[in-house]
Structure 1
Amino acid sequence: MSARGLLVAAPRSGSGKTTITLGLQRALARRGLTVRGLKCGPDYIDPAFHAAATGAPSANLDSYAMPDGLLARIASEATQAADIVIAEGSMGLFDAVPGPEGRTGASADVAALTGWPVVLVIDVSGQAQSAAAVALGCKAYDPRIRVAGVILNKVASARHERLVRQGMERIGLPVLGALPREASLILPERHLGLVQAGETADLHARLDALAEAVSAAIDLDAVMAAAGETRLPGPVDRDALPLAAPGRRIAIARDAAFSFVYPHVEAGWRAAGAELVPFSPLRDEAPLDDCDACWLPGGYPELHAGTIAAATNFLDGLRAFAATRLVHGECGGYMVLGRSLTDADGVAHAMAGLLSVETSFARRKMNLGYRRAVLQADGPLGRAGTALTGHEFHYASIVAQGDDPPFALVTDPHGSAPAPAGSRRGLVTGSFFHAIATAAPA
């Protein structure tokens, strides 16, 4: 029998969704429940925190980038292995890109597709009864979804809480809990979001503190009662792979500089029979010679550029590997495959030189959004002409593209003209594009 689920969402980013989601997940897990977390949209970091909070795998659900069969499979696998699913929205509940209804990337799409009620987190700092007007708007805006209740965040005092509750009573929305303003509950951040779970000091102590705060301030029984039956968003396609496996034995960089790999992508590769063999460039490890492909994920190489440049065993081994086998780099991995990476202090560090691109973190500009990429040549992610859905999220800039032909032609959901993106040379490819799934035929 499928587990019940709910979606923790908010009217806007920065309301405390992640903090409260993690607190709920940890608190319910401490009750002895099997809890699974899921994250709406393209986010690498939060699922790792969900996994730490629950002790079980987490994954992403993306209504823009994932076909129905993949969405259904991820939701089905989570609900079959849990007592309850606590999913986390992204940005504001209805924030989306242009697209057909239900396929816009909005967290509300996931709530509608799965049937999970929404628990709305509202940052009530600087307002009182007016918070109810915001909640009422969320409740009425989209008839496909049901807002089951609200959790108040950053409550200043008992009087403040009473006033906010009065507004919620007026619109008939239950208040499931109210958390005081407490800076110690905030998790550390950096330029792409939270500091990664594996790098967060005393992570489990922090999660336990969140669970204690949530247990004291939120009615966990009411949260459990708010969860709804799961409705899968289509037939489960257990044979379809999110992305083609680049090899049968894949050397994959994995450390503090290279960590952005979607759980559903790794699971799909393993389901195809591929073996993933991790290695650490920061420990000066090269891809093992008995692998037939190498994958350099995104991450934070810009914070470790000096260490990577000095990792001669890694760089020499990568160059030797690339002479005979496929190598692909996504985002940060793409930067390392290039000629140089300039750090935040303006110091240029020599990289692998397998592609001609030169990148800089000193010239910061945020690049963010969904993309559709059409491959320009046969490679690790498919044949020429294959379309992939995914996204970009980076602050680094290209200071010199070099003369390599493009990896793909890329468009966005806002009607942009196809533009060349990334680089390819020999068996090496890379781009700032993070692939999520093979696109449905246009």
Structure 2
Amino acid sequence: MIGIIMFFCALFMLLFGYPVAFTFGAVSVIFGMIAGIMSVGLDAGLMEGLQAGRLMFAFMPHRIFAIMNNTILMAIPLFIFMGIVLQKTKLAEKLLESMGFLFGEVRGGLAISTVLVGALLAASTGVVGASVVAMGVISLPVMIKYNYNNKLSTGTICAAGTLGQIIPPSIVLIILGDVFQVPVGDLFKAAVWPGVYLVGAYVIYIVIISFLNPKSAPPVRIEDSHGTKKQQVFKAIKAIVPPLVLIILVLGSIFGGVATPTESAAVGGVGAVILSILYREFSFKLIFDSSLETVKITAMVFGILVGATAFSMVFTYTGGDMIVEEFMLGLPGEKWGFLILSMISIMVLGFFIDFIEISYIIVPILVPISEAIGINPIWFAILIAMNLQTSFLTPPFGFSLFYLKGVAPPQVKTTEIYRGVLPFIAIQAVILIILAVYPEIFGISQGF
């Protein structure tokens, strides 16, 4: 039971706001030593017990070295760099301006354009925080100006900004590919249609709401003083085509088998720099600042990974994985019982902790069990990725909610943001259920 106690102790400490990587590392060392003492017995003496616990960590350098040599994980900093460079080239501003012009005169058009821009940003940058903040700064004031309902406006921005969690190239999918030991390219292919269906569901919801309650999303005429309508259409195409070409180059090279995800991530990084030159935003300061932010984010991810590696090692050594496996295999409904409890557990944990912690702590516990009962790993990984997306939206600690509140005008209340995301969380839950029951609709083979 030491491993189970350690698990809940780590979650308890995270709720108090302790740094994730150091929390997992410290808890692992403390409980590893306790496990060592108990393994030799109290009669053998404290020093012998501590020595047994120390021997458990003798293989830790080898595990860290294996992480350093993992070519799959090399794609993470490259895709992060690509996203930050595109963020600094003001790609979001250009896309929102163009989409707003194209769809603004349609009822609910501003909200629809926000979802479509969110999808394009997800496929080109994948940086959730940057997407939410950019759309919150640019799109939210415009929707408020044209009397859009605050709940619909904020919910749309938060939901659109989190599409980067499921639409490839997604950092979540790269992490899950490493955890499940499946090709990341296969996960990218499998995630395309769930992402498309989710975007479609968001648009359908906005259209329905705007027709049932016309005052919530009225049609507007976007005034523009930069030329005729024909010139503006050309300007919109000019803003949309370059990121689309980059997306095709990155994902197309993976799907076509021309390049690995790591190689395509390098192509994406170079392509982002080329786009910054075309948009006349390039500077050596941009490259330096983007590289610095990339190092910071990557260090956070890999710091958590090292702490999680120590945690999973102690958890396995103390037999915690066996207890969880016996419990899961004993559930009524067998495979469906395991699947339902897994999805509920991940969704509940998403209320309180980040997707990285869930991916490196919870998922490795579930993977061996899913293999034992014969669940398709690609299907299970996509279900988890779709589920993890809700962790950015679910109150009270959804990161997208805080990102948006930080840049929202004073008249937008936190409660309106919370209430605004609820329909989109429900849409995600519906898509998740359909994906679980009818995976063939999304082009994924039956799970079991």
**Structure with the greater relative contact order (CA < 8 A, sep ≥ 6): 1 or 2?**
2
Give the alignment's TM-score, normalised by structure 2: 0.25
Q: TM-score, normalised to structure 1's length?
A: 0.26
Q: Which has the larger radius of gyration?
A: 2
> Which structure shows the bigger proportion of residues in strand conformation?
1
